Amino acid sequence: MPDTDVRPGGGPDIASLDFDADGVLRLEWARWAAIDGPNAQLAMDLVNGLCQGRPTPLLIDMAATGSVSRAARAVFSQACDASAIALLGASAVDRVLANFFLGVNPAPVPTRFFTSNDEAVRWLAVQGHAGG
Protein backbone atom coordinates (compact mmCIF):
# COMPACT_ATOMS: atom_id res chain seq x y z
CA MET A 1 0.00 0.00 0.00
CA PRO A 2 1.19 3.53 -0.60
CA ASP A 3 2.97 5.16 2.29
CA THR A 4 1.00 8.37 2.29
CA ASP A 5 -0.63 10.76 4.69
CA VAL A 6 -3.26 13.09 3.31
CA ARG A 7 -4.08 16.33 5.06
CA PRO A 8 -6.13 17.93 2.33
CA GLY A 9 -6.16 21.66 1.89
CA GLY A 10 -9.70 22.94 2.09
CA GLY A 11 -10.75 19.87 4.08
CA PRO A 12 -10.10 20.88 7.69
CA ASP A 13 -12.63 18.35 9.01
CA ILE A 14 -10.40 15.46 7.90
CA ALA A 15 -7.59 15.14 10.44
CA SER A 16 -5.77 12.41 8.51
CA LEU A 17 -6.15 9.76 5.85
CA ASP A 18 -3.42 7.17 5.39
CA PHE A 19 -2.59 3.46 5.20
CA ASP A 20 -1.35 1.62 8.27
CA ALA A 21 1.20 -1.22 8.28
CA ASP A 22 -1.60 -3.78 7.77
CA GLY A 23 -2.86 -2.14 4.58
CA VAL A 24 -5.94 -0.70 6.29
CA LEU A 25 -6.87 2.77 5.09
CA ARG A 26 -7.58 4.96 8.13
CA LEU A 27 -9.73 8.07 7.97
CA GLU A 28 -9.76 10.23 11.07
CA TRP A 29 -12.27 13.04 11.33
CA ALA A 30 -11.25 16.19 13.19
CA ARG A 31 -12.56 16.67 16.71
CA TRP A 32 -16.15 17.97 16.72
CA ALA A 33 -16.35 17.90 12.92
CA ALA A 34 -19.78 18.64 11.50
CA ILE A 35 -19.78 16.29 8.54
CA ASP A 36 -21.97 17.67 5.77
CA GLY A 37 -22.45 16.56 2.17
CA PRO A 38 -19.39 18.33 0.75
CA ASN A 39 -17.14 17.02 3.57
CA ALA A 40 -18.44 13.50 3.03
CA GLN A 41 -17.91 13.73 -0.73
CA LEU A 42 -14.36 15.04 -0.23
CA ALA A 43 -13.60 12.08 2.05
CA MET A 44 -15.08 9.60 -0.45
CA ASP A 45 -13.13 11.15 -3.32
CA LEU A 46 -9.88 11.01 -1.33
CA VAL A 47 -10.51 7.38 -0.31
CA ASN A 48 -11.20 6.40 -3.91
CA GLY A 49 -8.15 8.31 -5.10
CA LEU A 50 -5.86 6.48 -2.70
CA CYS A 51 -7.39 3.06 -3.35
CA GLN A 52 -7.22 3.47 -7.14
CA GLY A 53 -9.98 0.93 -7.76
CA ARG A 54 -8.57 -1.72 -5.40
CA PRO A 55 -11.04 -2.98 -2.75
CA THR A 56 -9.49 -1.80 0.50
CA PRO A 57 -10.45 -2.19 4.18
CA LEU A 58 -11.37 1.19 5.70
CA LEU A 59 -11.32 2.17 9.36
CA ILE A 60 -13.11 5.44 10.11
CA ASP A 61 -12.25 7.05 13.44
CA MET A 62 -15.37 9.00 14.34
CA ALA A 63 -14.59 9.53 18.03
CA ALA A 64 -15.77 12.98 19.08
CA THR A 65 -17.41 13.70 15.71
CA GLY A 66 -19.90 16.50 16.17
CA SER A 67 -22.62 15.55 13.71
CA VAL A 68 -23.36 13.86 10.39
CA SER A 69 -25.93 15.51 8.13
CA ARG A 70 -28.57 13.73 6.06
CA ALA A 71 -26.66 14.70 2.89
CA ALA A 72 -23.46 13.18 4.32
CA ARG A 73 -25.28 9.95 5.21
CA ALA A 74 -26.54 9.76 1.63
CA VAL A 75 -22.99 10.13 0.30
CA PHE A 76 -21.69 7.45 2.68
CA SER A 77 -24.35 4.99 1.51
CA GLN A 78 -22.89 5.04 -2.03
CA ALA A 79 -20.39 2.41 -3.17
CA CYS A 80 -16.72 3.33 -3.00
CA ASP A 81 -13.42 1.43 -3.06
CA ALA A 82 -13.81 0.31 0.56
CA SER A 83 -14.20 -3.48 0.83
CA ALA A 84 -15.39 -3.33 4.45
CA ILE A 85 -15.77 -0.43 6.88
CA ALA A 86 -15.04 -0.43 10.61
CA LEU A 87 -16.43 2.62 12.41
CA LEU A 88 -14.35 3.40 15.50
CA GLY A 89 -15.83 5.49 18.27
CA ALA A 90 -15.20 6.15 21.93
CA SER A 91 -18.55 6.85 23.52
CA ALA A 92 -22.19 5.88 23.74
CA VAL A 93 -22.96 8.96 21.62
CA ASP A 94 -20.66 7.63 18.88
CA ARG A 95 -22.43 4.26 19.04
CA VAL A 96 -25.86 5.89 18.76
CA LEU A 97 -24.69 8.00 15.82
CA ALA A 98 -23.22 4.94 14.04
CA ASN A 99 -26.25 2.74 14.72
CA PHE A 100 -28.59 5.47 13.49
CA PHE A 101 -26.53 5.86 10.34
CA LEU A 102 -26.43 2.11 9.71
CA GLY A 103 -30.15 1.74 10.39
CA VAL A 104 -31.27 4.55 8.10
CA ASN A 105 -28.70 4.20 5.31
CA PRO A 106 -27.73 0.64 4.41
CA ALA A 107 -23.98 0.45 3.82
CA PRO A 108 -22.82 -0.86 0.44
CA VAL A 109 -20.21 -3.12 2.11
CA PRO A 110 -19.97 -4.92 5.47
CA THR A 111 -19.88 -2.18 8.11
CA ARG A 112 -19.68 -2.43 11.89
CA PHE A 113 -19.13 -0.13 14.90
CA PHE A 114 -16.31 -0.72 17.43
CA THR A 115 -14.93 0.99 20.50
CA SER A 116 -11.67 -0.99 20.30
CA ASN A 117 -9.13 -0.32 17.56
CA ASP A 118 -7.72 -3.86 17.87
CA GLU A 119 -11.16 -5.46 17.53
CA ALA A 120 -11.91 -3.27 14.50
CA VAL A 121 -8.68 -4.32 12.76
CA ARG A 122 -9.29 -8.00 13.59
CA TRP A 123 -12.81 -7.76 12.16
CA LEU A 124 -11.47 -6.17 8.97
CA ALA A 125 -8.97 -9.04 8.67
CA VAL A 126 -11.75 -11.60 9.13
CA GLN A 127 -13.59 -9.93 6.27
CA GLY A 128 -10.71 -11.24 4.14
CA HIS A 129 -9.51 -7.87 2.95
CA ALA A 130 -6.84 -6.60 5.32
CA GLY A 131 -3.29 -6.54 4.04
CA GLY A 132 -4.17 -7.59 0.61
Confidence at residue 27, expressed as pLDDT on a 0 to 100 scale: 93
Greatest mean pLDDT among 6-10, 96-100, 103-107, 113-117 lies in 113-117
Greatest mean pLDDT among 4-13, 97-106, 109-118 lies in 109-118
* Top CATH class, 5-126: alpha beta
Handedness of CA 118, 105, 94, 80 (dihedral sign): positive
Identify whether the C-beta of residue 47 lies closer than 8 Å to the C-beta of residue 58. Answer: yes
List, in sequence order, every beta strand (DSSP E) within the chain: 5-6, 14-19, 25-29, 34-35, 56-61, 67-68, 82-88, 111-114
Give pLDDT tens digits for 61-109: 988 787 888 888 888 889 999 999 999 988 777 777 777 666 666 778 9
Output the pTM of the full model: 0.82
Q: Give the model's confidence band at 114: pLDDT under 50 very low, under 70 low, under 90 confident, else very high.
A: very high
The domain limits of the chain are: 5-126
Confidence at residue 130, expressed as pLDDT on a 0 to 100 scale: 45
81 DSSP 8-state letter: S
Confidence at residue 100, expressed as pLDDT on a 0 to 100 scale: 66
